[in-house]
Amino acid sequence: MDAKKQIDSTGCRVDSNIIWWICSTICLPFTLPHVILKIIEIIKEWRFRECLPGKVVVITGASSGLGEALAHVFFLAGCKVVLCARRKDELDRVRRDLLELYTTVVTHSPVVIPLDLSDIQSLPRKVKEILGIHGHIDIMINNGGISVRSDCLTTALDVDIKVMLVNYFGTVALTKACLPSMIQRKEGRIVCISSVQGKFSIPHRSAYGASKHALQAFCDSLRAEMTEHNVKVTLISPSYIRTDLSVNALTGSGDQYGKMDLTTASGAEPEKVAMRILKAVMRDEKDVTISQIAPKIAYWIRHLCPALYFWIMARRAKKMSSCINTKVNKP
Looking at residue 279, what is its pLDDT? 94
Gap between the Cα atoms of 198 and 236, Å rounded: 10
Q: What ranges do the domains of the chain cover? A: 54-291, 293-322
Spell out the residues 6+ positions from residue 218 whose beta carbon is closer than 8 angstroms to its own.
168, 171, 172, 192
Looking at residue 14, what is its pLDDT? 47
Cβ-contact 236, 194 below 8 angstroms: yes
Cβ-contact 151, 252 below 8 angstroms: yes
DSSP 162-227: HHHIIIIIHHHHHHHHHHHHHHHHT-EEEEEE--GGGTS--TT-HHHHHHHHHHHHHHHHHHHHHG
Looking at residue 304, what is its pLDDT? 93
* Grouped pLDDT means (10 residues each) for the chain, 331 residues: 46 54 59 63 60 94 96 95 96 96 85 96 97 97 93 92 96 97 97 95 91 97 97 96 84 84 83 96 94 90 92 89 52 45
Reduced to 3 states (helix: H, G, I; strand: E, B; else coil), residue 118 is coil
In a 10 Å sphere around its CB, with 0-12 CB exposed, 13-18 middle and 19+ buried, how is residue 324 labelled? middle
CATH architecture of 54-291: 3-Layer(aba) Sandwich (3.40)
- Nearest C-alpha neighbor of 280 from the set 35, 12, 45, 55: 45
Spell out the residues 6+ positions from residue 317 whose beta carbon is closer than 8 angstroms to its own.
151, 203, 204
Instruction: Give the pLDDT confidence of 22-33 residue by residue, as tens digits.
Output: 555 656 565 666
Looking at residue 32, what is its pLDDT? 60
The average confidence (pLDDT) of the chain is 86
**Residues forming the active site:** 208
Gap between the Cα atoms of 262 and 21, Å rounded: 48
Gap between the Cα atoms of 113 and 99, Å rounded: 17
Looking at residue 245, what is its pLDDT? 82
Looking at residue 29, what is its pLDDT? 65
Handedness of CA 209, 144, 118, 226 (dihedral sign): negative
